[in-house]
Structure 1
Amino acid sequence: MTVTGPLISVIIAAYNAMPYLTRCVESVAAQSIGKAALEVIVVDDGSTDGTPAELKRLGAAHPGLLRVVTQENSGGPAGPRNHGLDLARGEFVFFLDADDHLGPEALERMAVMAEKNGTDVVLGKMVGEGGRRPPQSMFRRNQPRTDVFDSRVYWTLSPMKLFRRSLVEEHHLRFPTDLPTGEDQPFVARAYLHASGISVVADYDCVYWVLRADEGNITLRTPGSEPRLRFLSRMVDLLVDRVPPGPGRDHLAHRHLTVEVGSLIRCHLVHEPRDEQHKTLARLAETLAPLWHDGLHDVLPPLARLRMHLVRHTMLDELLELDRYERELAESGVSAPLLVEDGRAYVRHPFLRDPGRGVPDACYDVTALLSARHHLTRAELHGTTLHLAGHAYLHRVATHDVATELVLRERGTGTEFRLPVTHTDTPGLGDDEDKGRYPYERAGFEAAVDVTTAAEGGPLDDGLWDVSLDVAAQGLSKEVRIGCKRADDVDAEPCVRVVDTPAGPRALALYTTKPYGNFTLDLGENKHRVTPRLLVDGVRWARDIPNRLEFSGRCSLASYPDDALRIVLSEEGGRTAAFPVPRGEEGRTDGPFTVGVPVERLGAGVWTGELRLGAWGLPLPQLPPSTAPVKWRRLGLPWYAKPAQRKGRCFALHVARTDLVKAFTRRLGL
């Protein structure tokens, strides 16, 4: 990447950062993008350890790279970061905490992503070190261009990202200096909302987020609920002011109503004196009130719904009991049980149906969140029939009154057919999860789907038919695509066949989708064509059998009807001759083949040909024009065969009886 000045300004706020500072700066100096593309601005926020001396050494070790600024301690990273922004000259800025460090290609990969896609903010994958656990949900795949509403990027509001500096300056983005913690959230949230686009680099470890051994990270050094209530109030105001009511605001509110509220209660409120707990809870309820509406029940997970109900109604004792319950539940390694009633599922968290508390059932309803788990032990085609077997169940729902169905749904039209399965016993299933508390002894299934009768007794139309299970028990059901969980011996490679049906030969393929690995039936060559799996790559006269023409090729179809694959020769007068392709060992259809054609059995004329399989045909290659003719006698008369001239590069063979008069005349030279 060619640059005329610093492409990226890396801003590092440092306070008593030893010994982490050394690795931090060295990781920037070693970036693959090259020092010429970088300027590193380190703002020493009044350090009292060896930070100033180490910065002096690093500056000498990397001349021209570091710009070190010293200031009196400001009490947090906002001031040093703002100071660095005022000095930055790069097209992009990247904020790096002095505790953390970069992967060698991090800045180059992020800059390329921004320039290629014209985005203003780039997230690089974060990985934890020393026990720190960074957010991961936004790093499941690369995202060239997204925004806060169509992704999970809002779940990381740390500033360790690449920002286009024109975005920062145009919207006067700076870190609020009146927040002792959480100062990064308003800055990053505003950048997200103003950005023309956001990119995510998920296939490379960009930022190593370090938990200091002395727990000296600024977030850990700032105790108490009050600082967190201050920045949470700021974020609620930001969302109410900048994001209109609706699904977009709810999506962003989800993060604060789960992450921030849960952390504030779990790490701070529970440790406060009783009178402070009441004040904190009242203030928290007041802070969150502008965001709340009943529709958020559908957005939040069950525990967060219940927690928010208790917060909104300032039910302190219940909130403290719920916190104890959450801790015990996490330590137990067992998922909470369910109450199944009238086709609904309710999680048995505290206070369910407790008349003294009056918590509505909506706080516990997990019907829409039920998890269907499956595992395939068989998925294979035999002729026109797809055979499936395995097990499937609803997590935490005992397999009583099971009524699972197989679902075939055509991807383009949405046409679907539901087919019965045979339920089978699965003793011991469930013993290896939730400490065996929830058995699933009737979760097995077997199914046989014939494509000629699956459409309510008729054949399935051409199309891509996705295969799912509607897993049902006790009046509850959940549909799930199947195939991603399968036994090692279940073949996931595309299996393409030509099968006999009452309507004639038909192309049929079973394959797994990418990237999810679920099974789909391809009827009619939508994605898997037949002819690319047929090849004739050679033709010659046999070396040891007189007057025999040999065609060599390869077939990669999993199967086709007996004797359906043939070399078919046609003569201009309408005569034809067919020669079946021999099968391989044990009747295999996939692999190389050689087909012999005894030309002495052909009548006089010019013969052309193709490799034919039902309605599919593939032209045969031509004999080289220099190929010598072959000769034989039929009923005592001489015959010959030689290459014929035809337009294109297709096979043509001229077969004729020798004209004795012409032959004798040529021999005499007349």
Structure 2
Amino acid sequence: MGVKVSVVVPVSEPGPDDDAFDACVRSLLEQSMPSDEYEVIFADDRSGDGTRERLDAVAAVRPNVRVLHLEHAGSPARGRNVGLAVAQGEYVYLLGQRDRLARVALEVMYRSAVETDADVLIGRLVSGDNPPPRAFTRNRERADILRDRLLGLPTAHKLFRRAFLDARDIRFPDIEPDLSEQAFVVKAYLTAKVIAVLADHICCHLGPSPEGPVDPAAHASGIRAVLDVIDAHSDPGDQRDRMYAHWFRTGVLRLLGGRPWLSARPDQRAALFASLRELTRERFPEELDRHLPVHLRARAVLVRSGEPGRLVALSEAFRGTSVRAELRDVRWEDGSLTMDLAVEIVDAHGAPLTFRAEGDRLFWTPPISDLVLPAALADVTDAVSRARMEVYIRHIDTGLIFFIPVSGEVCRSQDADRVRVWAVGRARLDVGTAAFGRPLRSGEWEVHVRMHSGAQQARTRVAGQHGAQLSCVGVLAGEPRKLVIPCWSEQRELSVCVEPRSFSESIVLVSPGASVTHREGHVFVVLPVPYVPPSGGPPAELVLRQIASRGRVIAIPALVEPGVPGRFPGQLVAKVPVRRLPGEGHIGPGLWAPRLRIDGKEVDLRFVLEMGRAGRARVQAGGEPGMLSTRRSLLGRLATHLPGGRHAVRLAHKLQQRYLPTPPPDHGS
């Protein structure tokens, strides 16, 4: 049987300690496809850091691995082209040296490509914690470049039929590396008979992209090369205009407003602006602006008029724009976790973004007062009619992301001539079908929301309001039945845990919801228990360790009380003896770090218990992270002069970092 897939990887001095490169190599060697059915071609750009020798050692024991020793070119384009020239596979996959393939990637991509007779097959990509592109909402046997938003997938991480590449003479041009990939891909898009999308399997995890200053001349030249490919393989008209608008948006306007450009030196900023303004005047006429979102139309106006200062002011005015998400309710309904949400785009001060109304039309107002857009450019009526809310879940370990169904509406209210727009909706998470009709894998899944307002978009974690009672009832859901628990971080951000590893872990996940009550000289520490098994759960103890030089420890038996399945959680109650003076068998004033002991094993809980001198206790669960640092600043200087004091200060600092993480800045204040 011949080679089914060739994987080409250009390599350039990853270094002996590059974990991402090691993961890339391992992922290629551990594919589920039989080794005699695929080959790996490393095209080494004369690396001088020991990489050549390491790859040769792999090839010596792996018959399906080849290493090409090339003269130094400084660009991955030559390595890719040479790899394509010697590849023997029916299909070719192009991988970066810091990317890694899922174990089943080659097997499932090849099978899908054969079934769909695809010239190009795009397997699902994962990039950090970014939500997946819209192209990956479902499998597509016959994808369309524009309708299915394939231009949002411009990198070479795809499976290409090798005979198709050879017949169309598709190779990587020697231009700026990112744009070389895009020129290669857009030619393949425009000349392929069949492009397919495989969305229901993660195929490739993208590694970190190298960051560095943009070479203005090289970047502009690369954009021109991409546009030349479009001109050569498309006819004038709306399709070409929309493709041009895509590269105007991504290759010009986003650069002239992003953080790297704002933080660049004035001379670097001026050089990039001049180069991209010339490119704009040469290849991007004003007629394209109608295909841009409105805030980028404003940038386009300032680029064409040659006003970099106002462009900087416009970009600064957008900083801090975010989405405010209000979680109004979370509950279980018919085995699905139901979330009622209201979301809205707000500015850096937390004020809702509004539109100007004239009759039945809506117009966007630029955030800098001296910029006035023509009415045709400022009109966002149609865009606002497509405003929407999206909710997705993200696995915290793998980065896997799935969108979940949302039903709702976009609401408007008007005050004088200003119109406010927000979305309300109900999201339903069915753990048995959320993964493209399949059950979610075990682990913790974050819940995120994204809002498209018609002018801008933003995303955030879904969080409960401070002071609100938050549900943490666990249920058995899906087939086969698995315990599923909604849980809350110290910042009250919502996650869903599928099949906790143990009874202890299920309690740890919701322990930020701990509370205390006082009665008859005792403190009762109460922890929610998401799901109490019919047996009542194993015996448990609450272990409290004082955060001080003596580090006193007290263990208190805890009682587990059942709740109402599917409606109310159970609770774990520990009766803690309290005294105002230090002593054995009770706790006194100070900070106490809690742990849960079950079956002789202890796990950390996600809060700190603070005992006041009056015998009153309270729970600190990340909401007041400054409390411990303030106390340390007052006592730390004294403690360091006492025996064992320096160790105590280090311990307190460590516990603060562990239990009281600093919350992210609040852009709404």
TM range (shorter): 0.5 to 0.7
Whether 1:257 and 2:274 are equivalent positions in the alignment is no
Instruction: Give 1:66 shift.
Output: 0.4
Whether 1:175 and 2:172 are equivalent positions in the alignment is yes
Q: 2:126 aligns to what?
A: 127
Instruction: Give 1:90 shift.
Output: 0.9
Q: 2:95 aligns to what?
A: 96
Instruction: Give 1:270 shift.
Output: 3.3
Whether 1:193 and 2:177 are equivalent positions in the alignment is no
CA distance in 1, matches of 2:422, 2:247: 37
Q: 2:35 aligns to what?
A: 35
Q: 1:53 aligns to what?
A: 53
Contact 2:38/2:64, CA 8 A, preserved across alignment: yes
Instruction: Give 1:203 shift.
Output: 0.7
CA distance in 2, matches of 1:329, 1:362: 24
Q: 1:25 aligns to what?
A: 25
Task: Tell me which of 272, 285, 295 is aligned to 2:277.
Answer: 285
Whether 1:363 and 2:360 are equivalent positions in the alignment is no
Q: 1:116 aligns to what?
A: 115
Superposed CA deviations along residues 33-85 of structure 1, whole A, max 9, x for unmatched, are 22121011111112232422321332244x21100111232112111111111
Contact 1:236/1:288, CA 8 A, preserved across alignment: no
Q: 1:310 aligns to what?
A: 302
- TM-score, reference length from structure 2: 0.52
CA distance in 2, matches of 1:258, 1:110: 31
Q: 1:514 aligns to what?
A: none
CA distance in 2, matches of 1:299, 1:278: 27
Q: 2:140 aligns to what?
A: 143
**Matched residue SS, 1:202:** strand
CA distance in 1, matches of 2:55, 2:381: 57
Instruction: Give 1:312 shift.
Output: 1.9
Corresponding pairs, count: 381
Q: Taking structure 1 as reference, are residues 202 and 210 closer, same or farther at Cα in structure 2, changes over 3 Å only?
A: same
Contact 1:120/1:195, CA 8 A, preserved across alignment: yes
Q: Taking structure 1 as reference, are residues 327 and 351 closer, same or farther at Cα in structure 2, changes over 3 Å only?
A: closer
Amino acid at match of 2:308: L
Amino acid at match of 2:235: P
Instruction: Give 1:105 shift.
Output: 1.6
CA distance in 1, matches of 2:278, 2:212: 26
Q: 2:222 aligns to what?
A: 231
Instruction: Give 1:191 shift.
Output: 0.9
Task: For 1:391-402, list aligned pairs within 5 A.
Answer: 392-395=409-412, 397-398=413-414
Q: 2:311 aligns to what?
A: 319
CA distance in 2, matches of 1:136, 1:11: 24
Instruction: Give 1:326 shift.
Output: 2.2
Instruction: Give 1:350 shift.
Output: 3.1
Contact 1:351/1:359, CA 8 A, preserved across alignment: no
Whether 1:245 and 2:236 are equivalent positions in the alignment is yes
Contact 2:366/2:372, CA 8 A, preserved across alignment: no
Instruction: Give 1:264 shift.
Output: 2.0
Instruction: After superposing the two structures, state which structure 1 stretch, 165-174 or 230-239, moved more.
Output: 230-239
Contact 2:355/2:420, CA 8 A, preserved across alignment: no
CA distance in 2, matches of 1:237, 1:315: 28
**Matched residue SS, 1:42:** strand
Task: For 1:513-662, list aligned pairs within 5 A.
Answer: none
Q: Taking structure 1 as reference, are residues 72 and 372 closer, same or farther at Cα in structure 2, changes over 3 Å only?
A: closer
Q: Taking structure 1 as reference, are residues 169 and 347 closer, same or farther at Cα in structure 2, changes over 3 Å only?
A: same
Q: Taking structure 1 as reference, are residues 135 and 255 closer, same or farther at Cα in structure 2, changes over 3 Å only?
A: farther
Q: Taking structure 1 as reference, are residues 439 and 175 closer, same or farther at Cα in structure 2, changes over 3 Å only?
A: closer
Q: Taking structure 1 as reference, are residues 341 and 159 closer, same or farther at Cα in structure 2, changes over 3 Å only?
A: same
Task: Tell me which of 345, 350, 357 is aligned to 1:340.
Answer: 357
Amino acid at match of 1:328: G
**Matched residue SS, 2:93:** strand
Instruction: Give 1:98 shift.
Output: 1.3
Contact 1:39/1:66, CA 8 A, preserved across alignment: yes
CA distance in 2, matches of 1:71, 1:92: 23
Superposed CA deviations along residues 6-53 of structure 1, whole A, max 9, x for unmatched, are 111100111222332332122122222221210111111122324223
Contact 1:127/1:207, CA 8 A, preserved across alignment: yes
Q: 1:204 aligns to what?
A: 201
CA distance in 1, matches of 2:65, 2:387: 54
CA distance in 2, matches of 1:391, 1:344: 23
Whether 1:329 and 2:326 are equivalent positions in the alignment is no
Contact 1:7/1:38, CA 8 A, preserved across alignment: yes
Q: Taking structure 1 as reference, are residues 372 and 259 closer, same or farther at Cα in structure 2, changes over 3 Å only?
A: closer
Q: Taking structure 1 as reference, are residues 120 and 300 closer, same or farther at Cα in structure 2, changes over 3 Å only?
A: same
Q: CA RMSD in A?
A: 3.3
Task: For 1:497-516, list aligned pairs within 5 A.
Answer: none
Contact 2:122/2:197, CA 8 A, preserved across alignment: yes
Instruction: Give 1:134 shift.
Output: 7.7
Contact 1:76/1:180, CA 8 A, preserved across alignment: yes
CA distance in 2, matches of 1:305, 1:86: 43
CA distance in 1, matches of 2:265, 2:388: 48
Q: Taking structure 1 as reference, are residues 345 and 186 closer, same or farther at Cα in structure 2, changes over 3 Å only?
A: same
Contact 2:32/2:104, CA 8 A, preserved across alignment: yes
Task: For 1:61-100, list aligned pairs within 5 A.
Answer: 61=61, 63-100=62-99
Amino acid at match of 1:249: R
Amino acid at match of 1:124: G
Q: Taking structure 1 as reference, are residues 290 and 111 closer, same or farther at Cα in structure 2, changes over 3 Å only?
A: farther
CA distance in 2, matches of 1:126, 1:279: 34
Instruction: Give 1:200 shift.
Output: 0.5
**Matched residue SS, 1:24:** helix
**Matched residue SS, 2:206:** strand
Q: Taking structure 1 as reference, are residues 10 and 180 closer, same or farther at Cα in structure 2, changes over 3 Å only?
A: closer
Q: 1:418 aligns to what?
A: none
Contact 1:336/1:348, CA 8 A, preserved across alignment: no
CA distance in 2, matches of 1:79, 1:281: 30
CA distance in 2, matches of 1:335, 1:315: 28
Unaligned runs of 5+ in 2: 323-346, 390-406, 426-453, 455-669
Instruction: Give 1:272 shift.
Output: 4.5
Superposed CA deviations along residues 220-259 of structure 1, whole A, max 9, x for unmatched, are 2454433322212222333234322222112212321222
Q: Taking structure 1 as reference, are residues 135 and 312 closer, same or farther at Cα in structure 2, changes over 3 Å only?
A: farther
CA distance in 2, matches of 1:186, 1:36: 32
CA distance in 2, matches of 1:307, 1:100: 34
Q: 2:291 aligns to what?
A: 299
Contact 2:20/2:207, CA 8 A, preserved across alignment: no
Contact 1:336/1:349, CA 8 A, preserved across alignment: no
Q: Taking structure 1 as reference, are residues 198 and 20 closer, same or farther at Cα in structure 2, changes over 3 Å only?
A: same
CA distance in 2, matches of 1:272, 1:85: 38
Q: Taking structure 1 as reference, are residues 279 and 247 closer, same or farther at Cα in structure 2, changes over 3 Å only?
A: same
Task: Tell me which of 146, 163, 166 is aligned to 2:163.
Answer: 166
Amino acid at match of 1:361: A
**Matched residue SS, 2:173:** coil
Amino acid at match of 2:364: V
Higher relative contact order (CA 8 A, sep 6+): 2
Amino acid at match of 2:58: L
